[in-house]
Structure 1
Amino acid sequence: MPDQSLRLMAVHAHPDDESSKGAATMAKYTSEGHRVRVVTCTGGERGDILNPRLEGDAEILRDLPGYRRREMAEAARALGIEHVWLGFVDSGLPEGDPLPPLPEGCFALEPLEVPVGALVRQIREFQPHVMTCYDENGGYPHPDHIMAHKVAVAAYEAAADPDAYPEAGPAWAVQKLYYDISFSLARIEAVHTAMQERGLSSPFEEWFERRRDRPRRPATARVRCAEHFPARDAALRAHATQIDPDGFFFQVPRDIEAETWPYEEFELARSRVGTPEGLEDDLFAGVRPGGAEVPAGRGKVGS
């Protein structure tokens, strides 16, 4: 019997990105019986230990990449998702003025066709109906996030083209591609204001003041998922080297968050099934379970 569950693929740069961006939405869909696969482009090899409780931990320092892989496996279990590594090397976050060159062989310096081909293979194997990724700014200007955006958009197009990467398997047309904008200024402002109104100290005060005049991304989908915030939080805590349990992620009372901002937001970037009017409440709205039509009249792709 063919698999008729709907499938979502989320493309991320590093382990832990999936838990801070769209995680509750993914947990919602897996709880409803849909399949969700996260593709992580790099192993996070050049990440720092951001949790002060683990600084200097000898076990972690011996093998940080291996430790982060185990963290990712635990986060995947918390969210109920499938997970694959795309296999590229973390570029690190360059700092200084002028910025130093990126390390040789890193993800951000790969010829675009190499990671695109790797992601096309994943798309054609998993056959997602919907994909999510970062916007053109990477969500924030990390070289791996910007590269992940370029790779995801190019692979969305190439996976549907039978003439592109024929060695990666039969073509598959993903029906919709969304930018994940769930960590938005609108969300921060709403939670920040709610805490101030209750006389509580907001962890976002300085953060919001520095960014309040920046352009805001237009959300086209808003998925209610507050009941899955606990799964999101468990996934965040699984990335213990990256997430400080006393940091700002956990300083907002969950009842206030659920009341004020009980959803995650997305921006529709590409669609092969039309553009809906108004704000969507489901990333799978309008998709065809059996597959989409390939552009330019090439015929139907997928099962």
Structure 2
Amino acid sequence: MSTIVFVHAHPDDEASQSACSMARAVQEGHRVVLVLATNGDHGQPPDDLAEGETVVLRRRREAEASAAAIGTHRLVWLGYADSGMTGWPQNEHEGAFVRADVEQAAQRLAGVLRDEAADVVVGYDWHGGYGHPDHVQTHRVTKRAAELAGTPRYLEGTMNRDAAVRGIAAARAAGLPVGDWDPTRPMDDGNPMGTPEVELHWACDLRDWIEVKRRALQAHASQTSDVGMMLAIPAAAFREQFGWEYYIEPGRPAGMVVGWFLDTDPNHS
């Protein structure tokens, strides 16, 4: 059995992006650790905050509920503040993750990897999927932490841009309300969403774990704009759209394998 550390930028990213992978790994007997880089304090403030309750406290509790729904064995907070989207004033706030020294942040994460004797660490692709500053920083920090800790395998979670294009086309053909959403248009940093299929290494069919992802998303009930939009997708479409999770594994031979990345020999033989 292996120990896998998944590193995410904000509370709820783990639910939308890798919940199915984490749940399958847990079910198979692997140790799964979730690391969240920021406290998500610039997320959507809920209307029902109690007296003395903050957005940070609510999102921490929601993240704990999500982690419990997935079955993770440990939840670690790196302790940085949410940086907001590109160009927001929060980018310059003291404590914002985007302003953190990459080497220092990576040393902090590497400490978790060493403590866990991690076999695999999973971060984000080079532009964080859609260019959010905290996601891009998560890529930098995770990649460097893997080097510092000597973690045997390093993967990057991403989105399959081509699959997204096909999915949007199918949804429109079925008459579903998708608006003008276009995965190929410029996102937060000017790059299109995710990664072209030709650059992917792993396409993981995790549709059997889709209800775990739904429960993890439901745990983040305060984030009604993003999470609410995902949960409003019809069940069949949700299963197809969110039941596949994609990874890049730098150093692995080119070509996308439809399979489970924990079934492979880490030496890629």
Q: Which residue does the alignment assign to 2:264?
A: 286
1:211 Cα offset (Å): 2.3
Gaps of 5+ in 1: 161-173, 293-303
Counterparts of residues 28-39 of structure 1 (less than 5 Å) = 28-39=24-35
The corresponding residue for 1:164 is: none
Contact 1:175 1:287 in 2 (8 A): no
CA displacement 1:136-186 (0-9 Å, x = unmatched): 1122222211111111010111112xxxxxxxxxxxxx222121113x323
* 1:178 alignment counterpart: 155
Write the distance in 2 (CA, Å) between the matches of 1:137 and 1:14. 15
Q: Decide which moves more: 258-267 or 105-114.
A: 258-267
**Displacement over 6 Å in runs of 4+:** none
Alpha-carbon deviations, 1:258-280, whole Å to 9, x = none? 4577421111125xxx6476515
Aligned to 2:22: 26
- Per the alignment, do residues 45 and 258 of structure 1 end up closer, same or farther by CA in structure 2, a change over 3 Å counting? closer
Mean alpha-carbon deviation: is it higher for 138-147 or for 247-256? 247-256
| Matched residue SS, 2:170 | helix
In 2, are the aligned partners of 1:94 and 1:100 still within 8 Å (CA)?
no
Q: Unmatched 5+ residue regions in structure 2?
A: none
What are the superposed Cα offsets for residues 14-41 of structure 1, whole Å, 9 maximum, x if unpaired? 1111111121111111112112111101
Q: Secondary structure at the match of 1:248?
A: helix
Equivalenced residues, count: 259
Matches within 5 A, 1:1-303: 5-49=1-45, 54=46, 56-59=47-50, 62-81=53-72, 82-95=74-87, 102-160=92-150, 174-182=151-159, 184-198=160-174, 200-203=175-178, 205-208=179-182, 211=185, 214=192, 216-217=195-196, 218-244=199-225, 247-258=228-239, 262-270=243-251, 275=253, 279-287=257-265
Q: Percent identity, please.
A: 27
Taking the aligned partners of 1:260 and 1:243, their CA distance within structure 2 comes to 19
Alpha-carbon separation, structure 2, partners of 1:260 and 1:13: 21
Structure 1 position 214, deviation (Å): 3.9
The one-letter code sitting in structure 1 at the alignment partner of 2:144 is A
For the residue of structure 2 that corresponds to 1:14, the secondary structure is coil
The offset of 1:85, in angstroms, is 0.8
Shift of 1:128: 2.0
The answer to whether the 8 Å contact 2:34/2:75 transfers is yes
Q: Is the 8 A contact 1:130 1:283 kept in 2?
A: no
The higher radius of gyration belongs to 1
* Counterpart position of 1:169: none
CA distance in 2, matches of 1:126, 1:78: 21
- How well do the aligned residues superpose, as a CA RMSD in angstroms? 2.8
Is the 8 Å Cα contact of residues 60 and 67 (structure 1) preserved in structure 2? no
Q: Secondary structure at the match of 2:177?
A: coil
The answer to whether the 8 Å contact 1:191/1:260 transfers is yes
